[in-house]
Structure 1
Amino acid sequence: MAGLWYIEYEKKIRPYIDLIDSLRALGLDKDLPLPTIAVIGDQSSGKSSVLEMLSEVALPRGTGIVTRCPLELKLKNGVQGTPWKGQIRYRDSVITLKSPDEVEEEIKSAQEDLAGRTGISSELISLQVESSCAPDLTLIDLPGIIRVPIGDQPQDIGAKIKDLIKSYIRKEETIILVVISCNVDIATTEALKMAQEVDPKGERTLGVLTKPDLIDCGTESDLLKIINNQIIPLQKGYMLIKCRGQQDLFAKTSLANALEQETEFFRKNVHFRTLLDNKLASFQHLSTRLTNELIVHIRKCLPVIQETIRNNISANTKQLEKIGGAIPEDIQTRVHDMTSKILIYCEELINLAMGDYKKEYNNEMKLYHFAREKFAEWCKQLDVVKIKLNEEAINMVKHHKKYSKGRELPGFTKYTVFEAIIRDQIQELMGPSLEMMKELSDKIETVFNTLAVQHFNGFPVLVNETRCKIAETCQKIEKEAENVIRTNFKMEGMVYAPDAMYSYKLMEFQAHSQQKGNNLTGNLNPDVQSMVVHLQTYYQIAIDRLVQMVPMVLRYYLLQELTNQIKLELAQILFHSKDVAALLHEEGDMAAKRVSLRSSLDRLTKARTLLMNF
C-alpha cells in the first residue's frame, strides 16, 4: 500500500481498529463483548502457519498443543522504512521486543507463566506488532482442538479447550475464522462443527482452507465445491491459502519469499487460478478481506456498545450505591459514615409508619396504609357485633330473667344483671383486638427487617444486631400496648357513660326505633322491655368507644412510640458496641464486589469518553 490511496485507507480504517484496541486495553472486554476475529482450528490444521503469514512473525511451533493461552495479535501497518516494533503484555508484565526472532520464545515463556508446562489458561497474552509488511488487523488465536490428550497432558484438556473456545465464539460480536486443512474431510472438522453450533446460519463464520499442495491429484474439483459453498455453506464463504511447508521451514524460507511462492503456486494451478483472480485465494487477499470484515463488524457493533456502556454504568452505579459505594476503610470514618446510614434508615422507618412516603414504595412496605386497612376492618367487625348484640339482647335478658331472678318484686330490674350482660359481651372483643395488635406488630417487624437488609447490605453482623434491637423493642412496646388495651377493656367492664350522653343516646335510639316502626322489644313485660332498650343503647356507646380506642392505642404505641424507640436504640448501637470493628465487618465478598464495581465503572466511564470523542 502506498501513496494517496494508502493515506486515505489509513484515515478510514485505522481509527476503528485503534478504537477497539483501546477499549480492550482498558479491559472493557471484562464488562461487555467487543468486536474481534477469533481464530480456531483442529490441531495440525495449519492455524499457526496462517497467523505467521499474516503477522510475518514466527509463533510457537511443535507437536501437541502449541497455543495454550488466548493470544491477541494486534497488527499495525507501519510506514515503509520504519523499524519493526513489537511488545508482549500479560498480567502485569510488559516486554519490549527488539526483533521478530524474539517473539516465539517470549510467547512460550509467557504461556508457561500462565498455564504451567502442560496446561492451558484463559488469561490473555497480547502481542502487538508494527511493521510495514503487517496488515491493519487485530485477531485472537485460540488453542487448537484436540481429541485425545497425549503424554502428561491433563485428561480433561480437550474439554477445557472447547470451553475456552466457546467462551469467545458464542458472542455475537465475534467473527469466527475457521482454519481447515484441505487434506481432511471437512465434515469431520471439529472446529467447523463448533462454529456451526454457535453460528448455525454461518453469518459470522469465514472458512480458511490450508495445505492445497497436499491434496491428491484429481480431487481439486471437490475442493472447489467447498469454496463455492456447495458442501457446507457459509455466508462469508471460504478462502484458500498456502502456508510454508515443512521443507520451507527446513530451508528457512523467509515469509516474504513464501508469500511470493504462494502467489506463483496459484497462478500456475489451472484449478485455482480463477480463485486468485476473484480474490478468494492468497494471504494478500485474506488479510485485506479480514480487515474489511472487521471494520464492517466494528461499525455495526458500535451503537450496541455505546448503549450497553450506558446501561452498565447506570446498573453498576445503582448496585454500588446499594452496597455502599463509598464505605471508607478507616474504622472511625466508617463509624461516622454508618451512623449517618442508621439515621437515614430510622427516618425512613418513621416516614413509613406515619404515612409520609417520600419516595415510591410497593404496597407491602406502606405500614400506615396497612394499619388503616386493619382499622377499617376493625370498624366493620364492630358494626357487625353491634347489630348482633342488638338482635340478641332480648334473648339475653330473658335468660337472665329466668335464671337470675332473686327476691326482688315484679317490675324491679337488677342492675347487676345489666352489668353482667354488658361485661360478658364487651370482653369477648378483647381477643380480636389483641389479634389485630399482633398482626400489625408482626407486619411492622417484617418491614423494618427488610429495610435493615437493604440499608446495611453487606454488613451481616450489623443487620443481625439491628434485627435483635427491632425484635426486643417490638416485644417491649407490644407488651405496653397490650396492657393499655386490657386496661381499657377492664374499664369497659365498669359500665359507664356520662348521664347527659346516655340520656341523649337513649332518646335517640327510641326515636329511631319508632321512626322505623320497628318495636324491637315486642310484647315483653315492662321490666324486660326496659332492660333490652337500655342494653341496646349502651352497646352503641361502648362499641363507638372501642372503634376509636383500640386503633388509637395501636397507632400510638406500634407506629409512633415503636419507631421512636427503635430510632433511639439504633442511634446508639455503634457507640455501645464492645467491638465496633466486628459490627462493621463486611461479609466475605462484599469488599471485593465493591472494588470490582468501582473498577468496572472506571473502565466504562473511560470507554464512554473514548466513544464520545471518536
Structure 2
Amino acid sequence: MANLLYTEYEEKIRPYIDLIDSLREQGLNKDLTLPSIAVIGDQSSGKSSVLEMLSEIALPRGTGIVTRCPLELKMKNGTKGSQWKGQLNYRDVSLLLNSPQDVEEEIKKAQIHLAGKTGISSELISLQVESPCVPDLTLIDLPGIIRVPTGNQPQDIGNMIKNLIQSYIGKEETIILVVISCNVDIATTEALKMAQEVDPKGDRTLGVLTKPDLIDRDTEKDILKIINNQMVPLRKGYMLIKCRGQHDLITNTPLANALKKEIAFFNDNVHFRPLLEKKLASFQHLSSRLTNELVLQIKKCLPGIQEKIGSKMNEIMKQLDKLGGAIPEDTKTKVHNLTSRILAYCDELIHLAMGEYKKDYPIDVKLHDFAREKFTEWYKKLDGVKIGLNENAAIMVKHHEKNSKGRELPGFTKYRIFEAIIREQIQELLEPSLEMLNEFSARVETTCNTLALQHFGSYPLLVGEIQIKIAEVCNKMERKAEEMLETNFKMEAMVYAPDEMYSYKLMEFQSRGQQKGNSSMTNSSLDPQAMVIHLHAYYQIAIDRLVQMVPMVLRYYLLQELSAQIKITLAQLLFHYKDVDALLQENDETSEKRRDLKDNLDRLTQARNLLMNY
C-alpha cells in the first residue's frame, strides 16, 4: 500500500512541483507570477516556527522584526537515506550549505547585506533544501506585520512591510497562508485583515492556528468555532498545529521529537483529538494539505500561464522587430538594411501625411487631427472678422469718404472707397495665416523627428543626420508655402469676383436687408448704407476663398510635398554618405536591450516547451 501511494505521488504530485521549480530556475517568475504559497502573520504569531517545523531547519529568531526580506523556501523531498543539501541565493551570491545548522547564520548575513541592520528589503532570498525529511513544497516567508516601530527602525516600516506583503498576496496565483496565534483575538489579526482585502471570499486563504498550548482552560471551544468556520469563514478553512515551545527551544529539542510531542498533545486533548481524525491538525496533515493545495493551484493556473507566455512572446517579438535584427557585417547588406529602414520610415510618414493612421498612434503624432483643429480656428477667425466688418462697415465708409476726397466731385469716390476697405480687411488676415503656417510647420517637423527616433533611435549618428535633413526640407517647404500665401493675398488685393457670382451674393444680402426692414440698404450706391451691403457681399466671397485656400496651401506643401521631399532627400543621404558603417553604429543601450529581449524570449520559449507536456 505504501509503495502504491508513493508511486501515485511520484506520478500525480511531484511532476507539478518540479515543473514550477523548473520554471522558477529558468527565471520565468521575472516575466509573470507563478503559483506559490505566501506565509504571512502578525509579529510573534509563530510564523517562523511553522516554517521550521515544515522544513526542519532553524530560521533566524529574536525580538522585533526577524524576517526582513522575502524568503523563498524551496523544499524538495530527497530519496530515503540521501544527504541533506542546501543552497542560498541572493543578488549575485550563490552559497552551498553543508549543514542545516548553517542556515540561520547565512540568512542573517544575507538580510544585513540586502536590508542593513534594521531595515527591510523587497529583494528575494532563495533557500533550496533537499532532504528525505521535508515535503515537496515551496513557500515564501514574508516579514511579520508590526504596528509600532522600535529602536532604530524607520518610522514608516509598518507601511513598508504591508506594501511588501500586498505585492505578493495581491496576485491571483498566490495561496495565502495566514498564521494566527490561538491566544489572540482573531478579529484583531492584521494579517487576516490583509488577506480578506485581497481575497474577500477566502478562496485563496488557508488559516493556520498556532500555540494551542498557551490558551486558557475552557477556551478550546472558541478555537473549534474558528476551525469550523463559524468566526471568520474561509473557503480553504483552518488547521491547528503546535510548534516547539520555549522549553523545547532552550533544550534544543530535535524537530522529529517535537513532531511526536505535537501528536501526543492533540491525542491527550479531548477537544482537539477529533481534529487529527479529520486531518485538520498536526504538521503532518498541514504538510500534505499544503502540497495538495499548491498542486491544485498549479493545475488551475497552467492554462493562464501558457496564455501569458504566448502574449509575452508576441510582445517581445514586436519589440525586437522595432529594434531590428542584429547589424549585418558586410557593407552591401548594411546598405540594404539601411535602405529598408529608410523606406519604411518614409512610407509611414507618407501614410501619416495622408491621414492613414495606425491603431496605436498617439494623438500628438496625428497630423491631420492637428490640422483640422488649426483650420477650424482659421475658419472661426475669418468668421469673426466678417462679423466685425458687418458691425463697423458704415463707420469705415464714412471715414474713407471724409478722408479720401480729392478733386473729384461728390458721388465719384464710392468704388475707390469700397476697394480700399476690402484691401485693408484682407491684408489684416495675412499675418494670422503666416502665424498658423509657422505653428503647423513646427508641429510637422516635431512629428517627423518623433517618427525618426522610433525608427532609428538606436543609431545616434543616423538620427542626427536625418533630423538635419528634416529641418532643411521643412524650412524649404515652409518658405514655399509662405510665398504662395503672400502671392494669394496679393491677388486678393485686386478685388475680383465673377459678375454673376457677385450679383447673386449682392442680391442675397439685399434680400436679408429687406427682411430686416432696412430699406436704405437697397438705395443707390451713393448712399453709405448701400456701400455697406456691397462690402458684405464681396467680403463673403473673399472669405470663402481664403477659408479654403490657406489650409490647402499648408496641406499641399507641409504634408504632401514635404513627405515626398523627405523620401527623396533621405535616399540621397544614403547614396552620398561615405561611411555607412558609422551611420549604423548602434548605441550600447540598444544592443543591451536587444540581448535582454532575446534572453527573455529564449526563457519564455523554454518555458513554453516545458508546459507542452502538461
TM range (shorter): 0.7 to 0.9
Q: Structure 1 residues 228, 447: CA separation in 2 closer, same or farther (over 3 Å shift)?
A: same
User: How big is each residue's C-alpha offset from its partner over 1:296-325, in whole Å with a ceiling of 9 and x where there is no partner?
Assistant: 112222222223333334445545666x46
1:348 maps to 348
Other structure's SS at 1:121 match: coil
Matched, 1:293 2:293: yes
Identity of aligned residues (%): 62
User: How many aligned positions are there?
Assistant: 579
The aligned runs of 1:212-231 (5 Å cut-off) are 212-231=212-231
Give the secondary structure class of the aligned counterpart of 1:456: helix
Matched to 2:278, the amino acid is N
Deviation of the 1:69 alpha carbon: 1.6
User: What is the CA-CA distance between 1:265 and the residue it aligns to?
Assistant: 2.0
State whether residues 445 and 474 of structure 2, in contact with CA within 8 Å, keep that contact through their aligned partners in structure 1.
no
* Structure 2 residue aligned with 1:241: 241
Q: In structure 2, what residue type is equivalent to 1:233?
A: P
Relative to structure 1, is the Cα distance of residues 545 and 320 closer, same or farther in structure 2, using a 3 angstrom cutoff? same
Residues 49 and 334 of structure 1: CA distance in aligned 2, closer, same or farther (over 3 Å): farther
Q: Give the aligned partner of residue 309 of structure 2.
A: 309
Alpha-carbon deviation of 1:591?
A: 8.7
Is residue 447 of structure 2 the alignment partner of residue 450 of structure 1? Answer: yes
Q: Distance in 1 between matches of 2:548 and 2:192?
A: 79
1:92 aligns with 92
**Residues 558 and 434 of structure 1: is their aligned pair in 2 closer, same or farther, counting only changes over 3 Å?**
farther
Distance 1:205 1:560, change over 3 A: closer
Preserved contact between residue 437 and residue 554 of structure 1 (Cα < 8 Å): no
Instruction: Give the Cα–Cα distance (whole angstroms) in 2 for the partners of residues 407 and 188 of structure 1.
Output: 103
How much does 1:440 deviate? 5.5
Match of 1:198 in 2: 198
Residues in 1 aligned to 2:458 and 2:91: alpha-carbon distance in whole angstroms: 32
**Offset at residue 230 of structure 1 (A):** 2.0
Q: Map 1:425-574; keep pairs closer than 5 Å.
A: 425=422, 429=426, 432=429, 435=432, 439=436, 442-456=439-453, 474=474, 477-487=477-487, 490=490, 557-563=557-563
Counterpart amino acid of residue 220 in structure 2: E
Map Cα deviations across residues 476-514 of structure 1 (whole Å, 9 max, x no partner). 543443334434554676799xxxxx9xx989999xx9x
Provide the rounded CA distance (Å) in 2 between the counterparts of 1:364 and 1:155: 44
> C-alpha offsets along residues 399-441 of structure 1, whole Å, 9 cap, x if unaligned?
99xx999899xxxxx9x99899778757855655775565456
Q: Is the 8 A contact 2:32 2:308 kept in 1?
A: yes
- Cα RMSD over matched residues? 5.4
Rate the CA distance shift 1:489–1:602 in 2: closer, same or farther, 3 A: same
Deviates more, 1:122-131 or 1:563-572: 563-572
User: Structure 1's 567 and 276: CA in aligned 2 closer, same or farther, altered over 3 A?
Assistant: same
Query: The residue matched to 1:120 in structure 2 has which SS?
Result: coil
Q: Partners in 2 of 1:120 and 1:370 — Cα distance?
A: 50
TM-score, structure 1 normalization: 0.74
Q: Distance in 1 between matches of 2:79 and 2:569?
A: 73
Cα distance in 1, alignment partners of residues 501 and 118 from structure 2: 100
- After superposition, what is the alpha-carbon deviation per residue over 1:160-195, rounded to whole angstroms, capped at 9, x for unaligned? 322222221222222111112222332333322322
Pair 1:187 & 2:187 matched? yes
The range that moved more, 343-352 or 43-52, is 343-352
Distance (Å, rounded) in 1 between the aligned partners of 2:231 and 2:14: 36
Q: Alpha-carbon deviations, 1:362-406, whole Å to 9, x = none? A: 99867679889969x99xx99xx9xx9xxx9xxx9xx99xx9998
Unmatched tracts of structure 2, length 5 or more: 512-521, 526-537
Q: Secondary structure at the match of 2:206?
A: strand
The SS at the match of 2:24 is helix
Q: Which amino acid aligns with 1:85?
A: K
Distance 2:37 2:81 in 1: 28
Relative to structure 1, is the Cα distance of residues 243 and 469 closer, same or farther in structure 2, using a 3 angstrom cutoff?
A: same
Using the TM superposition, give the Cα deviation of residue 295 of structure 1 relative to its aligned residue in structure 2, in angstroms.
Answer: 1.2
Letter in 1 for 2:42: D
Cα pair 2:34 2:173 within 8 Å, conserved: yes
The 10-residue stretch of structure 1 (149-158 or 132-141) with the greater mean CA deviation from structure 2: 149-158
Structure 2 CA distance for partners of 1:145 and 1:325, relative to 1, 3 Å: farther
- Report the 3-state secondary structure (helix = DSSP H, G, I; strand = E; otherwise coil) of the residue aligned with 2:12: helix
State the match for 1:535 in structure 2.
Answer: none
The code of the aligned residue for 2:235 comes to Q
Match of 1:167 in 2: 167
**Secondary structure at the counterpart of residue 13 of structure 2:** helix
Q: Is the 8 A contact 2:53 2:255 kept in 1?
A: yes
| CA contact 2:449–2:470 (8 Å) conserved in 1 | no
Is 1:207–1:239's contact at 8 Å kept on the other side of the alignment? yes
Native 8 Å contact 1:445 1:471 kept in 2: no
CA distance in 1, matches of 2:159, 2:502: 89
Q: Does the C-alpha gap of structure 1 residues 495 and 274 become closer, same or farther in structure 2, counting only changes over 3 Å?
A: closer
Q: Secondary structure at the residue paired with 1:145?
A: coil
Contact 1:427/1:489 (<8 A) preserved = no
1:194-223 C-alpha deviation (Å, 9 max, x unpaired): 223332332222111122222222222222
Distance 1:145 1:419, change over 3 A: closer
Cα contact 2:430–2:489 (8 A) shared by 1: no
Which residue is equivalent to 2:135? 135
Larger radius of gyration: 1
Say whether the 8 Å CA contact 2:355–2:367 is kept in structure 1: no
The match for 2:61 is 61
The CA distance in 2 between the partners of 1:447 and 1:591, in whole Å, is 30
The answer to whether the 8 A contact 1:423-1:495 is kept is: no
Distance 1:598 1:133 in 2: 40
Q: In structure 2, do the counterparts of structure 1 residues 465 and 268 end up closer, same or farther at CA, with 3 Å as the change threshold?
A: same
Amino acid at match of 2:450: V
CA distance in structure 2 between the aligned counterparts of 1:178 and 1:454, rounded to whole angstroms: 52
Q: Deviations over 1:47-104 (max 9, x none)?
A: 2221111112222233333222211111122222333222222222222223323222
- How far does residue 293 in structure 1 lie from its aligned partner after superposition? 1.0
Query: Cα deviations across residues 229-262 of structure 1 (Å, max 9, x unaligned)?
Result: 2222222111111122222233333222222222
Range with greater deviation from structure 2 (287-296 or 122-131): 122-131
Q: Is the 8 A contact 2:178 2:207 kept in 1?
A: yes
Shift of 1:228: 1.5
User: In 2, distance between residues paired with 1:67 and 1:365?
Assistant: 50
Measure the CA separation in 2 of the matches of 1:10 and 1:142: 30
Change in CA separation of 1:36 and 1:424 when aligned onto 2, cut-off 3 Å = same
Partner of 1:36: 36
Match of 2:535 in 1: none
Secondary structure of residue in 1 paired with 2:610: helix
CA distance in 2, matches of 1:600, 1:486: 58
Distance in 1 between residues matched to 2:219 and 2:210, nearest whole Å: 15
Separation in 2, partners of 1:203, 1:545: 70
Contact 2:175–2:205 (CA under 8 A) maintained in structure 1: yes
Q: 2:114 is paired with a residue of what secondary structure?
A: helix
Cα 1:507–1:337, aligned 2, differ >3 Å: closer, same or farther? closer
Aligned partners of 2:272 and 2:146: how far apart in 1?
A: 30
Residue 144 of structure 2 corresponds to 144
SS in 2 for 1:4: helix
